[in-house]
A and B are shown apart, each in its own frame.
Chain A
Amino acid sequence: MGTTAWTQQLLGQVRQSRVWRSVFRRGPGRTNRTRSLAIFGNLFLHVLPVKVREKSLRVRATYYLGSISFFLFVVLAITGILLMLYYHPAVPDAYRDMKDLVYVVSTGVFLRNLHRLAAQAMVVAVFWHMFHVFYRGGYKPPHEFNWVIGVGLLLVTLFLSYTGYLLPWDQLAFWAITVGTNIISYVPLLGRPIRFLLLGGHIIGENALLRFYVLHCVILPLAAVVLIAMHFWRIQKDGGLTVGDNNGRKD
Chain B
Amino acid sequence: MAEKINYEAGISSDAAKQPRRIVFITRKTSAKVKGYVGAQLMSYPHVVLREAMAFQFLTIILVVIALFWDAPLEQLANPLLTPNPAKAPWYFLGLQELLHYFPPAVAGVLIPGLVVVALVVIPYFNVNIEGEPLWARDSRKRFATLAGVFVALFTFMVVYRAWTVLIPTVVLGALAVGSYFLRPSQVRSVRFLQSRSLPWWVMTWFIAVALTLTMVGTFFRGPGWSWVWPWR
Q: Is B89 an interface residue (CB 8 A)?
A: yes
The answer to whether the Cβ of B71 comes within 8 Å of any Cβ in the partner chain is yes
What residues on A are CB-neighbors of B124 within 8 Å? 144
Q: Are B58 and A39 in contact (CB under 8 A)?
A: no
Judge whether A64 and B79 touch: CB under 8 Å. no
Q: Which residues of A are found within 8 Å of B73, using beta-carbon distances?
A: 98-99, 102, 168, 170, 172
A32-B42, A51-B43, A148-B120 known; A135 and B95 CB under 8 Å? no
Query: With an 8 A cutoff between CB atoms, is B83 at the interface?
Result: yes
Question: Which positions 89-126 of chain A face chain B at CB distance < 8 Å?
Answer: 91-92, 95, 98-99, 102, 109-110, 112-118, 120-121, 123
- Counting contact residues on chain A (CB < 8 A from B), the size range is 35 or more
* CB-contacts of A1-46 with B (<8 A): 29, 32, 35-36, 38-39, 45
What CA separation (Å) do A230 and B36 show in the bound complex?
28
Least CB distance from B106 to A in Å reads 9
> Could you tell me which residues of chain A, from 130 to 183, have a CB within 8 Å of some CB in chain B?
130-131, 134-135, 137, 139-141, 143-145, 147-148, 151, 154-155, 158, 161-162, 165, 168-176, 178-180, 183
**Is A51 touching B62 in the complex (CB atoms < 8 A)?**
no
Interface contact B105-A171, CB-CB below 8 Å = no
B41 and A170 form a contact (CB under 8 A): no
B81: which A residues are within 8 A, CB to CB?
A: 171
CB-defined contacts of B223 to chain A, threshold 8 Å: none
Which residues of the other chain, B, contact A204 by a CB distance below 8 angstroms? Answer: 79
- Is A225 among interface residues, defined by CB-CB distance under 8 A? no
- Contact of A71 with B54 in the complex, beta carbons under 8 Å: yes
Confirm or deny: B16 has a beta carbon within 8 angstroms of a beta carbon on chain A: yes
Which listed residue, A49, A110, A173, touches B43 by the CB 8 Å rule? A49
Q: Is there a chain B Cβ closer than 8 Å to A80's Cβ?
A: no
A229 at the A/B interface (Cβ < 8 Å)?
no
> Which one of A52, A72, A155, A158 has the highest number of Cβ atoms from chain B below 10 Å of its Cβ?
A52
Is B39 an interface residue, CB under 8 A from the partner?
yes
B104 within 8 A of partner (CB): yes
Q: Which chain B residue shows the least CB distance to A111?
A: B66
Q: Is B27 an interface residue (CB 8 A)?
A: no
B83: A residues at CB distance < 8 A = 171, 175
Q: Are A48 and B47 in contact (CB under 8 A)?
A: yes
A147-B40 contact in complex given A35-B45, A131-B207, A171-B77, C-beta closer than 8 Å: no
Partner of B16, one of A29, A75, A248: A248
Docked complex: B54-88 residues within 8 A CB-CB of A: 54-55, 58-59, 62-63, 65-67, 69-79, 81-83, 86-88
Q: Tell me whether B22 is interfacial, beta carbon within 8 Å.
A: no
B76's contact among A32, A143, A171, by CB below 8 Å, is which?
A171
Cβ–Cβ < 8 Å partners of A145 in chain B: 123
Q: Mark A68-81, 1 if CB is under 8 A from B, else 0.
A: 10011011000000
Task: Say yes or no for A186: interface residue by CB 8 A criterion.
Answer: yes
Q: Contact partner of B58 among A57, A72, A158, CB < 8 A? A: A72
Report the Cα distance A55→B36, complex, angstroms.
13
What residues make up the interface of B, taking CB atoms closer than 8 Å to A?
Answer: 14-17, 19, 37-48, 50-51, 54-55, 58-59, 62-63, 65-67, 69-79, 81-83, 86-92, 95-96, 99, 104-105, 108-109, 116, 119-120, 122-124, 127-131, 197, 200, 203, 207
User: Which 7 pairs of residues, A with B, have the shortest CB-CB distance?
Assistant: A247-B131, A144-B123, A174-B77, A183-B108, A116-B71, A175-B86, A113-B66
Listed A/B pairs (9) with beta-carbon separation below 8 Å: A36-B44, A54-B38, A75-B62, A102-B73, A117-B65, A170-B77, A175-B83, A179-B88, A247-B197
- 13 extra A-B contacts, CB within 8 A, seeds A145-B123, A170-B73: A29-B42, A45-B48, A52-B40, A54-B38, A75-B62, A91-B77, A102-B73, A120-B90, A139-B122, A140-B129, A147-B122, A154-B119, A175-B86
